[in-house]
A and B are shown apart, each in its own frame.
Chain A
Amino acid sequence: MLVTERERLRDDIQAMADRMGRKRDALIPILQEVQTKHQQISDYAMQVVADLLDIHPVEVYSVVSFYSFLDNKPKGRFVVRLCRTISCDMAGKEAVARQLMNDLGVCFGESTKDGKFTLDWANCIGMCDQGPALLVNEQVHTKVTPEGVHEILEACRKTFGVYAQEKKEERA
């Protein structure tokens, strides 16, 4: 990582910490924001957070490793999480899962090479009456069919331009 980029990350996290309070109870909200903004909580980010909250880096690492939605490794801009719990399973999640893999060309737990998508499992996301269900980032899709997978991904691909724009602006 370039020094300037590091500095930017540090400033960013510092601003979050100032906003949310430099106390331990702000840890998870801060991490959530870092995750959403940077698709990962990098090694350096963890140490900065630890420093600002006066806790040990390993404690931050420990917390990050506990929660499924926090990740140390980079994730795609779009994290697709297919529910694999019983009701969605019975509603036919297996076919949807295979089609997701087919369309994205990656297995579960992996990201596409371009960094756009990460494919993951989720445990019950509370849409059991409308399964199979999946989450794309915060958005929920229900009664997904293998055929419908394409549409969902395509929509992401399209909105990606906007996100890319945002990211560029952020950089500028």
Chain B
Amino acid sequence: MTAKITFATIEAGAGLKAALGKGRADIIGELSASGIKGRGGAGFPVGVKWNLCAAARGESKYVVCNADEGEPGTFKDRVILMEHADLVFEGMTIGGYATGAREGIVYLRGEYAYMRAHLEAVLAKRREKKLLGKNAAGKQGFEFDIRIQMGSGAYVCGEETALIESLEGHRGEPRNRPPFPVDTGYMGRPTVVNNVETLAWVACIMAKGAGWFKSVGTEKSTGLKLFSVSGDCKNPGVYEFPMGITISKLMQEVGGEGAKAVQVGGASGHCVPAADFGRTIAFEDISTGGSIIVFGKGRDMLAVARNFLDFFVEESCGQCTPCREGNHKLLEGVTMLAEGRCSMAYLKELMSLGETMQLASKCGLGQSSSNAFLSIVKNFKDEIMGRATQGSLTHRRQGADHG
């Protein structure tokens, strides 16, 4: 189902050519006019980000392509990189031109190592065609090149400041923000970090104009978006839909009718029950980096919550207290629920802990890792509570001590 995405219809090099014909401010102006927001999940307006970086002072600047795609259920970046890498590199080159950066770095997740040779080949070809390097793409005085650095198996490195730490040779531990990367990023220099898809869209917008992009989507969430669909549906894969699509419409398209719930936004997203399928996927409603996981009728939602929490317990960087210990406690709570030894009082305690994690964690991981747990508890209370007690009496006592 990856056939008819827009990226396949864009003429190679058109975006870059159009961009280099404009002034820097005009490029950023065009992006702002298009209303495009980051496709990596956080949804920060691209025009604003680039403008901040362009305005920041620094001896050197960097454009980083975030290809760490680690959110459970997301795989669109993989498809984009395999099939439309040129478009992504074009977007990076435009970014270099617009912000004054001379170096672009692709941070490719370790799991995608098999793509590296392909990407290096594409880069080599671009260098050959003089689309990279000195006087790139024929623009006098514009120098830009791109290199690839590999991740090594850490989901949190998708967080932009952790990614930068990792690029600098450190543990992937998110930094304090502010200052933001646009001001103090890679090597302490102004840095733009954008998702693979975002950069590809930038090239498209340059080629076809802000008006074209804005013509679909909603007022606050313009344009098209790629979705990675998996789980209990007939046709999993990558889809392109306008922003603002309702979940039920999306379910029809992918053959997921009759689903009990949909996880929008991956493990860090929200679990939407069938009753809410009328809601839309947009930054102003349910926002996502593109992960759609469909849960069919027979799925045990507590098992789903446990799978997500297993993921976070493993992938939290472990530096800040709410996330490091909090996820652990939530996972413990899910086990207690499953074994029928979690009191309502303790469940309430855990839910308020989940809120604290959202508020007090240092980075987006901890701030969103309790989302799934909270939404599952909220929407499927009847299903997850009242389970048969397992284990011996002593087991139960321990549970009671906790609660």
Identify the A interface with B (CB < 8 A).
23-29, 31-32, 53, 62-63, 66-70, 84-87, 89-90, 122-131, 135, 138-140
Knowing A85-B311, A86-B73, A123-B314 touch, does A128 contact B293 (C-beta < 8 A)?
A: yes
- Residues of B123-176 at the interface with A, using a CB-CB cut-off of 8 Å, are 149-155, 166-172
Knowing A25-B168, A86-B307, A140-B114 touch, does A129 contact B72 (C-beta < 8 A)?
A: no
When C-beta atoms are compared, the residue in chain A nearest to B78 turns out to be: A126
Q: Are A66 and B154 in contact (CB under 8 A)?
A: yes
Q: Are B110 and A86 in contact (CB under 8 A)?
A: no
When C-beta atoms are compared, the residue in chain A nearest to B112 turns out to be: A126
Q: Are A68 and B154 in contact (CB under 8 A)?
A: yes
Knowing A90-B232, A123-B311 touch, does A62 contact B171 (C-beta < 8 A)?
A: yes
Q: Are B170 and A63 in contact (CB under 8 A)?
A: yes
B103 at the interface (CB under 8 A from A): no
- Tell which of B166, B169, B172, B237 has the most Cβ of chain A within 10 Å: B169
Partner of A70, one of B152, B230, B263: B152
Tell me the interface secondary structure of chain B in the complex: mixed
- Tell which of B110, B232, B293 has the most Cβ of chain A within 10 Å: B110
A129 contact set on B, CB distance < 8 A = 75, 228-230, 236-238
When C-beta atoms are compared, the residue in chain B nearest to A55 turns out to be: B169
Q: Are A124 and B71 in contact (CB under 8 A)?
A: yes
B85 at the interface (CB under 8 A from A): no
- Nearest CB in chain A: distance from B309 CB, A: 11
B348 at the interface (CB under 8 A from A): no
Q: In the complex the two chains form, what is the Cα distance from A122 to B113 in whole Å?
A: 14
- Nearest CB in chain A: distance from B110 CB, A: 5
B267 contact set on A, CB distance < 8 A = 85-86
Q: Are B72 and A86 in contact (CB under 8 A)?
A: yes
B220 contact set on A, CB distance < 8 A = none
Complex A-B: 23 CB contacts under 8 Å: A63-B169, A66-B154, A66-B172, A67-B152, A67-B154, A86-B73, A86-B263, A86-B307, A86-B311, A87-B73, A123-B70, A123-B72, A124-B155, A124-B311, A126-B74, A126-B111, A128-B293, A129-B75, A129-B228, A129-B229, A129-B237, A131-B230, A138-B114
Q: In the complex the two chains form, what is the Cα distance from A122 to B110 in whole Å?
A: 11
List 18 additional contacts besides A27-B169, A85-B73; criterion CB under 8 Å: A25-B168, A28-B150, A28-B152, A32-B110, A66-B317, A67-B152, A68-B153, A69-B153, A86-B72, A86-B73, A87-B230, A123-B70, A124-B74, A126-B70, A126-B75, A128-B231, A129-B228, A140-B114
Q: Are B168 and A89 in contact (CB under 8 A)?
A: no
- Nearest CB in chain A: distance from B241 CB, A: 16
Knowing A124-B70, A124-B71, A124-B73 touch, does A86 contact B231 (C-beta < 8 A)?
A: yes
B69 at the interface (CB under 8 A from A): yes
Q: Are B230 and A128 in contact (CB under 8 A)?
A: yes
Contact with A along B374-386 (1 / 0, CB 8 A): 0000000000000
Q: Are A66 and B230 in contact (CB under 8 A)?
A: no
Q: Are A86 and B167 in contact (CB under 8 A)?
A: no
When C-beta atoms are compared, the residue in chain B nearest to A62 turns out to be: B171
Q: Are B111 and A67 in contact (CB under 8 A)?
A: no
- Residues of B206-230 at the interface with A, using a CB-CB cut-off of 8 Å, are 228-230
B304 at the interface (CB under 8 A from A): yes
B238 contact set on A, CB distance < 8 A = 129
- Residues of B271-312 at the interface with A, using a CB-CB cut-off of 8 Å, are 293, 295, 299, 304, 307-308, 310-311
- Nearest CB in chain A: distance from B234 CB, A: 12
B315 at the interface (CB under 8 A from A): yes
B308 contact set on A, CB distance < 8 A = 86
- Residues of B88-102 at the interface with A, using a CB-CB cut-off of 8 Å, are none
Q: Are A128 and B75 in contact (CB under 8 A)?
A: yes
A29 contact set on B, CB distance < 8 A = 149-150
Q: In the complex the two chains form, what is the Cα distance from A31 to B237 in whole Å?
A: 34
Knowing A86-B231, A128-B230, A129-B237 touch, does A28 contact B72 (C-beta < 8 A)?
A: no
Q: In the complex the two chains form, what is the Cα distance from A27 to B111 in whole Å?
A: 19
Partner of A67, one of B69, B153, B295: B153
Q: Are B172 and A32 in contact (CB under 8 A)?
A: no
- Nearest CB in chain A: distance from B121 CB, A: 16
Q: Are A67 and B172 in contact (CB under 8 A)?
A: yes
A131 contact set on B, CB distance < 8 A = 230
B168 contact set on A, CB distance < 8 A = 24-25
Q: In the complex the two chains form, what is the Cα distance from A127 to B114 in whole Å?
A: 13
B293 contact set on A, CB distance < 8 A = 86-87, 128
Q: In the complex the two chains form, what is the Cα distance from A131 to B75 in whole Å?
A: 12
B304 contact set on A, CB distance < 8 A = 86
B75 contact set on A, CB distance < 8 A = 126-129
B231 contact set on A, CB distance < 8 A = 86-87, 90, 128
A26 contact set on B, CB distance < 8 A = 169
Q: Are A126 and B69 in contact (CB under 8 A)?
A: yes
